[in-house]
Structure 1
Amino acid sequence: MQEQSRLPLDLPRTAKRRPAATDGAQRKRSKGADAQPQDELPTAQAEPAEAARARLSDETPAEARGDAGHDRRPADHAALPPVIPAPWAEGRAPVLGEGPLDAPLMLVGEQPGDEEDRGGRPFIGPAGRLLDRALVEAGIDRSACYVTNAVKHFKYVQRGARRLHQTPDAGDIAHYRPFLMREIVHVAPGLLVAMGATAAQALLGRKVGIMKLRGQVLSGPGGMPILLTVHPSFLLRLPDPDAKRAEYGHFVHDLGVALQRVPEIRAG
């Protein structure tokens, strides 16, 4: 776990386990999401994780998975096929996932940010530092988790010397989805955590209302259980301090749900 740095928001050191309902700002944010009724979304069944992993592997051809005849090499990702960049990312190196390739928990975000693109590692910027802090408060050892993004390159708009984040569209998500699916097969986690709408869409293959379904575990590819929650950058953007505290507590609580399902990620 990297050293925690000062975060650009005032959050309590001890998160509340069950915060109050989201305020109007959050409701406004989620209003436009393509939410589906909760009872129309499949929830994860009590199928053993090993069975779900095997079924996902069986449903994906070996040549597409890129795992035939390879050993797991977490340092260089040699067992995974190369990432084909989107047209807007030509000439730039992808930011690959980080963590043990047999991790019981896989955290999936949206895309690398400016710092991640420059540093070549996922979740090392402001959102990553907030994630680190939340994992600590939830009792989770980040080094036991595999951390990656749905989109492997930083999509941005240049504004003078600044590179401003641009949300990936459906085409971007679809372009990188095959590599993400191969990552899932290769790591074979017991639980996936979709942080934000982009990650959820990449994993589930459709848009869902994150604010309505956060904290719930749904059935993903091959029956793999997927826990939905917000992206940590969402917390950084909230203008109201009270909303930040409440949402941060809710985020830590969501991560606590992950810990309950895969207790082997508990920090020592």
Structure 2
Amino acid sequence: MTSEEREKFEALRSEAQGCLACPLASTRTHVVFGEGDPDSPLVLVGEGPGENEDKSGRPFVGRAGQLLDKALSEAGLKREQVYITNTVKCRAADFSGPRPLNRPPTEEETTACRQWLVPQLGLIAPKVILCIGAPSAKNLIKKNFAITKERGMYFPTEFARTAIATLHPAYILRQMSASKGDGGFSLLVADIAKAWEAAQNLKAGKRPEGAAPKREEEQNALF
């Protein structure tokens, strides 16, 4: 980022803290704008903050976040080397029970938050976006994205040179609890490594390697 872009980025972050665009403003503790290196060629985008993130104001800090940190480490990365954010910046929760429970953001909430997400990604201008989970992929890649069939593949996106989607750490934790092997953790690590390599190659003016063989012609056309 240039110094001017950095000023715009921080102004956007500051403005987002006072957002009243949807009902989530009345129940949030913090706006979770994002963190990491805004000059990174790789941005990780999840769906939205949970309870721990709402309390801390930081993305991916609960159990799912700890697993993401482990995956980043096994891929040879640290959080500080990428930028991490969500499509929705405030926690969506169901308050009908004895304690608030996380819920998926509504279409209204997701749409309202695009006023922050779009300029945020525009200023970062990443080479690659790694969508964390199907909801993020449906928001940034295509509405009918099928995570089990299309994870790890390159897709066009208006927000970067290319986008890849991977399994959400929360899903992997549920699979682990059900005694289903590593729950897909190895796939998460592989997808992070692939996204980082693609980002570095694009930054250097090279074509990314490792296109999924079943869609090789379509993948090649992206670059």
The TM-score by the shorter chain falls in which range?
Answer: 0.7 to 0.9
Q: Is the 8 A contact 1:135 1:255 kept in 2?
A: yes
1:240 maps onto 2:178 in alignment: yes
Structure 2 partner of 1:77? 10
**Match for residue 146 of structure 2 among 206, 209, 232:** 209
TM-score (norm 2): 0.79
Bigger relative contact order (CA 8 A; separation at least 6): 1
Q: Is the 8 A contact 1:177 1:202 kept in 2?
A: no
Structure 1 partner of 2:189? 252
Partner AA of 1:145 in structure 2: V
Spell out the pairing of 1:1-268 with structure 2 (5 A cutoff).
70-72=4-6, 77-80=10-13, 82-83=15-16, 84-85=19-20, 86-90=22-26, 92=28, 93-158=30-95, 159-160=97-98, 162-204=99-141, 206-221=143-158, 224-238=161-175, 239-243=177-181, 245-263=182-200
Please give the alpha-carbon distance, in whole angstroms, between the structure 1 residues aligned to 2:84 and 2:160: 20
Unaligned runs of 5+ in 2: 204-223
Query: Displacement, 1:262?
Result: 2.5
Deviations 1:82-139 (A, max 9, x none): 2334223326331111012211110000101101100111111111100000000111
Q: Is the 8 A contact 1:116 1:123 kept in 2?
A: yes
Q: Is the 8 A contact 1:156 1:165 kept in 2?
A: yes
Aligned-residue CA RMSD (Å):
2.6
Matched positions, count: 196
Query: Displacement, 1:192?
Result: 0.3
Structure 2 partner of 1:63? none
SS at match of 1:115: helix
Unaligned runs of 5+ in 1: 1-66
Query: Displacement, 1:205?
Result: 5.1
**Do the aligned partners of residues 88 and 251 (structure 1) sit closer, same or farther apart at CA in structure 2, a change above 3 Å counting?**
same
More helix, by proportion: 2
Structure 2 partner of 1:17? none
Give the percent of matched residue pairs that are identical in Structure 1 and Structure 2.
Answer: 33
TM-score (norm 1): 0.66
**Do the aligned partners of residues 120 and 80 (structure 1) sit closer, same or farther apart at CA in structure 2, a change above 3 Å counting?**
closer
SS at match of 2:184: helix
Runs of 4+ deviating beyond 3 Å: none
